């Protein structure tokens, strides 16, 4: 599970969550944990260090600061450059590898939350997977038995991913009802 | 619009069976020597698309063009002649004549086109050797294994050197090992003759033998290559 969370791009996910409107760091953490954290919630430190990085890179800006009894609370808003960055991340297929589902799940949910085409993300990934399967199939045909066995192992894993992609594609309507407010 | 250099194209195909819309504006194109996988969930319309492309089923709307000829304008006799001379077919099962030997089965399309028995069987045997089933030449299909039977069917589909091979779930009844061997031999043989292959399958490992993938969902097609 640690591996899965680390592979997910926390920065892009937080950026995507900001698309629906400015939020404080605490709200961002709560939204992240609710939608994607499952049994591995974010640490506050991760949220603040990520937001500092995004701020430095011009992907978010400080929308307001509230002074209270404790430390001051910054409210963050996504910038145009941030929106472009999220769009680019969603549209770029992931490199097919183990534990990919968590990243893809995040992308699909973010696409639904930000009213982008989630089916497109799944299809783009599907095409990327099949492209790799073609390369492996070709290598298998030309190789010896060792090549065949190694390629087969990778092919079976990619096939499992593709089945997940197809199933998720068929369940997008149901997922949208669950993740979209109201 | 016909993509440049395409051998077979379909544009806006629509087909309705009673209350069911099988195709709802599906497009397709394939070049000579290209292998295109047609994928999609059960009932998505992929087999109907294949049947329309092969001139077996007439679409309710849309156009199909093969080598400059509009299939939708042809009568049944012309379509039948086209299928016999230009197209080859491989299905999941039940395609060989049980009373004939395997070599007679492979030679059958040539015999129907008027070839003499000896010539037809000589050509048939060449194809059986390529598909590694010449050892079952004198057996009846029921005496051959599933994998051998399917390779005999591929040999029969290719014996007339068709320009388009239509394969509908060609490995659907086979285990992984036999299925892969069929795909290797089928694609090698098709490439060597520059035949285009329309490959309907629900198995991604089979689709990985193709050059390109079309996904059919709810009767609509999507060319996945444009997404990469």
Q: What is the 3-state secondary structure (H, E, C) of chain A?
A: CHHHHHHCCHHHHHHHHHCCCCEEHHHHHHHHHHHHHCCCCCCHHHHHHHHHHHHHCCCEEEEEEECCCCCCEEEEEECHHHHHHHHHHHHCCCCCCCCCHHHHHHHHHHHHHCCCCHHHHHHHHHHHHHHHHHHHHHHHHHCCHHHHHHHHHHHHHHHHHHHHHHHHHHCHHHHHHHHCCC
Task: Tell me the pLDDT band of A70, cut-offs 50, 70 and 90.
Answer: low
Tokens of A117: 């085409």
Distance CA(B150)–CA(B58), nearest Å, equals 28
Q: Considering A91, A116, A134, which residue would you say is the last residue of a domain?
A: A91
Query: Scanning every residue of chain B, which has its alpha carbon at the shortest distance from the alpha carbon of A128?
Result: B228
Cβ contacts from A onto B, under 8 A: 47
- Tell me the mean pLDDT in the region B12-27: 95
- Tell me the mean pLDDT in the region A160-176: 93
Task: Tell me the pLDDT band of B211, cut-offs 50, 70 and 90.
Answer: very high
In tens, the pLDDT along A139-159 reads 999 999 988 999 999 999 999
Distance CA(A130)–CA(A96), nearest Å, equals 10
- Tell me the mean pLDDT in the region A82-109: 86
Q: Which pLDDT belongs to residue A102?
A: 79
Task: Tell me the pLDDT band of B173, cut-offs 50, 70 and 90.
Answer: confident
The DSSP-derived string for B182-205 is: HHHHHHHHHHHHT-EEEEE-S-HH
CB contact under 8 A, B205 and A137: yes
Distance CA(A175)–CA(A160), nearest Å, equals 20
The DSSP-derived string for chain B is: -PPTT-SEEEEEEEEEETTEEEEEEEEEEE-TT-EEEEE-STTSSHHHHHHHHTTSS--SEEEEEETTEEGGG--HHHHHHHHHHHEEEE-SS--S-TTS-HHHHHHHHHHHTT--HHHHHHHHHHHHHHTT-GGGTTS-GGGS-HHHHHHHHHHHHHTT--SEEEEESTTTTS-HHHHHHHHHHHHHHHHHHT-EEEEE-S-HHHHTTSSEEEEEETTEEEEGGGG-
Residues in chain B: 228
- Tell me the mean pLDDT in the region A40-62: 92
Distance CA(A58)–CA(B79), nearest Å, equals 63
Nearest to A130 among B41, B184, B208 (CB): B208
Query: Scanning every residue of chain B, which has its alpha carbon at the shortest distance from the alpha carbon of A120?
Result: B227
Mean confidence (pLDDT) of chain B: 92
Q: Which pLDDT belongs to residue B4?
A: 78
N-terminal to C-terminal alpha carbon distance within chain B: 22
Q: Is B2 a domain residue? A: no
- How many Cα atoms within 13 Å fall on the side-chain side of residue B30? 28
Same domain, A101 and A72: no
Same domain, A106 and A38: no
On whether any CB of chain B is under 8 Å from the CB of A134, the answer is yes
The total number of structural domains in chain B stands at 1
Distance CA(A62)–CA(B48), nearest Å, equals 56
Residue B85, min C-alpha distance to chain A (Å): 31
On whether any CB of chain B is under 8 Å from the CB of A128, the answer is yes
CB contact under 8 A, B204 and A120: no
CB contact under 8 A, B224 and A127: yes
Q: Which pLDDT belongs to residue A2?
A: 32
Same domain, A154 and A80: no
Distance CA(B183)–CA(B206), nearest Å, equals 7
In tens, the pLDDT along B179-191 reads 898 899 999 989 9
The total number of structural domains in chain A stands at 2
**Which domain CATH number covers B18?**
3.40.50.300
Four-residue CA torsion sign, B196, B200, B205, B211: positive
Distance CA(B207)–CA(A102), nearest Å, equals 25
Residue B146, min C-alpha distance to chain A (Å): 22
Query: Scanning every residue of chain A, which has its alpha carbon at the shortest distance from the alpha carbon of B204?
Result: A159
- Tell me the mean pLDDT in the region A9-24: 93
Q: Is B1 a domain residue? A: no
Task: Tell me the pLDDT band of B19, cut-offs 50, 70 and 90.
Answer: very high
On whether any CB of chain A is under 8 Å from the CB of B220, the answer is no
Q: Which pLDDT belongs to residue A98?
A: 66
Q: Is B3 a domain residue? A: no
pLDDT at A111 over 70: yes
CB contact under 8 A, A134 and B225: no
Distance CA(B110)–CA(B127), nearest Å, equals 12
On whether any CB of chain B is under 8 Å from the CB of A166, the answer is yes
Same domain, A104 and A144: yes
CA A38 to chain centre: 14
- Tell me the mean pLDDT in the region A90-115: 86
- Tell me the mean pLDDT in the region B23-42: 95
Can you give the residue range of the structural domain that contains B190?
A: 8-227
Is B206 within 8 Å of B187 (Cβ atoms)? no
- Tell me the mean pLDDT in the region B189-215: 94
Q: Which of A96, A118, A127 to mutate to test the interface with B (most CBs of B within 10 A)?
A: A127
Query: Scanning every residue of chain A, which has its alpha carbon at the shortest distance from the alpha carbon of B181?
Result: A141
pLDDT at A4 over 60: no
Nearest to B204 among A133, A141, A170 (CB): A133
pLDDT at A107 over 50: yes
Q: Which pLDDT belongs to residue A3?
A: 34
Tokens of B110: 């040539």
Same domain, A151 and A82: no
In tens, the pLDDT along B44-95 reads 899 999 999 999 999 999 999 999 999 989 999 999 999 988 999 998 876 8
Q: Which residue has the higher pLDDT, A37 or B130?
A: B130
CA B147 to chain centre: 17
Mean confidence (pLDDT) of chain A: 87
pLDDT at A19 over 70: yes
Q: Which of A137, A151, A152, A171 to mutate to test the interface with B (most CBs of B within 10 A)?
A: A137
**Which domain CATH number covers A37?**
1.10.10.10
Tell me which chain A residues have a C-beta less than 8 angstroms from the C-beta of B208. 130, 133-134, 136-137, 155
Same domain, A79 and A111: no
Same domain, A111 and A87: no
Can you give the residue range of the structural domain that contains A40?
A: 1-91
Same domain, A110 and A135: yes
Q: Which pLDDT belongs to residue B94?
A: 67
pLDDT at B214 over 90: yes
Same domain, A87 and A98: no
| Tokens 């709560």 sit on residue | A30
pLDDT at A71 over 80: no
Q: Which residues contact A105 (CB under 8 A, 6 or more apart)?
A: A36, A168
Q: Considering A51, A66, A91, which residue would you say is the last residue of a domain?
A: A91
CB contact under 8 A, A123 and B184: no
Distance CA(B224)–CA(B181), nearest Å, equals 26
Q: Which residue has the higher pLDDT, A71 or B24?
A: B24
Same domain, A85 and A138: no
CB contact under 8 A, A123 and B224: yes
Same domain, A11 and A70: yes
Same domain, A87 and A111: no
Tokens of B192: 């060597």
Q: Considering A26, A59, A91, which residue would you say is the last residue of a domain?
A: A91
């Amino acid at each position: 599970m640690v591996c899965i969370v680390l592979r997910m791009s926390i920065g892009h996910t937080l950026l995507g969550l900001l698309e629906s409107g400015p939020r404080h760091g605490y709200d961002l953490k709560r939204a992240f944990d609710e939608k994607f954290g499952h049994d591995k919630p974010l640490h506050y430190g991760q949220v603040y260090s990520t937001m500092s990085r995004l701020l430095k890179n011009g992907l978010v800006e400080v929308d307001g600061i509230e002074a209270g009894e404790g430390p001051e609370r910054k409210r963050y808003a996504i910038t145009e450059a941030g929106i472009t960055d999220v769009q680019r991340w969603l549209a770029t297929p992931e490199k097919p590898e183990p534990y990919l589902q968590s990243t893809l799940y995040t992308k699909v949910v973010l696409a639904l939350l930000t009213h982008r085409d989630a089916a497109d993300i799944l299809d783009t990934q599907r095409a990327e997977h099949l492209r790799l399967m073609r390369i492996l199939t070709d290598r298998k045909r030309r190789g010896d038995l060792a090549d065949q066995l190694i390629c087969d192992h990778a092919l079976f894993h990619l096939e499992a991913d593709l089945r997940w992609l197809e199933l998720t594609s068929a369940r997008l309507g149901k997922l949208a009802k669950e993740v979209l407010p109201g | 619009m016909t993509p440049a250099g395409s051998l077979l194209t379909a544009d806006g195909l629509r087909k309705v069976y009673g209350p069911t819309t099988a195709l709802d504006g599906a497009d397709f194109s394939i070049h000579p020597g290209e292998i295109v996988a047609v994928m999609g969930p059960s009932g998505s319309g992929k087999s109907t698309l294949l049947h329309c492309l092969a001139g077996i089923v007439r679409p309710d709307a849309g156009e199909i063009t093969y080598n400059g000829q509009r299939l939708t304008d042809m009568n049944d006799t012309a379509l039948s002649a086209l299928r016999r001379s230009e197209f080859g077919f491989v299905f999941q099962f039940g395609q060989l004549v049980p009373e004939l030997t395997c070599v007679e089965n492979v030679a059958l399309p040539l015999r129907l086109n008027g070839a003499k028995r000896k010539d037809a069987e000589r050509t048939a045997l060449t194809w059986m050797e390529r598909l590694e089933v010449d050892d079952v030449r004198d057996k009846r299909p029921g005496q051959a294994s599933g994998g051998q039977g399917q390779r005999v069917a591929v040999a029969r589909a290719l014996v007339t050197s068709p320009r388009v091979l239509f394969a509908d779930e060609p490995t659907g009844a086979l285990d992984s090992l036999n299925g892969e061997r069929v795909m290797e031999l089928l694609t090698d043989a098709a490439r060597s003759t520059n035949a285009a292959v329309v490959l309907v399958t629900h198995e991604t490992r089979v689709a990985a033998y193709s050059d390109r993938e079309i996904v059919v969902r709810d009767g609509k097609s999507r060319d996945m290559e444009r997404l990469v």
